Chain A
């Protein structure tokens, strides 16, 4: 699990660095245009690639860190076991959708490769290059999700439901669980003392 976190964290750094680089490039372009009547001729295009690639490589971290928004108003009122089932369903749904996106996204890359597509800017970037890095990010996200789900199910098999909740439940639900456990322990200790 540690290395999975590490891997997704590196994805975040990679994405963040691309975004910062894009900001700097645009800054340079603005200066060039203002003072030298010149232009990089595609800073906006490169920034777009940075967003696409950065997003794809950061989706996994958002999943592992449980940052994908889930509406849990109703969910937190369910019993723990049902919640865990819904957690698994949630991860599966996310993986299913982005798995399909990655699948069809691969078609996009293939098409660009076959027709030798290039961008319509001064850079004339072969579009397969950014698209390939993008699709690899999406694929890595799907793999991260499968590994995470595997971990969670392994914990379930060993009845370590708290550990499982810590992996895939929403944060507020996880805290509910901790509260319940704290209550339980307090009750146990007070029973012992009486």
Chain B
């Protein structure tokens, strides 16, 4: 059902965990409907110096979170904002159709974390 890439990220998730005193935090989903993701970012010189995530959910949800963290880490905020559901799916060599809607929330969670950071610094 899942591609090798998905299974690799599920089995060996990159950047799992929490950043204490994160510059931005983004949470999406909720455990009642199935998947929930939290992204934590550390920003330095307008770049994502560190990205970590926590995920409650299925194989797809965990793999999506892992690859988003990998895609985002080291990127400028501007570049990181270009990560979408579509680019995430492509990087994983595809996701099952029924998983596209509820499990593919990583890009959204990351965007929320960046927004959280931007709101904080503009205050």
Chain A partners chain B: no
| Residues of B participating in the A interface, judged by any CB pair closer than 8 Å | none
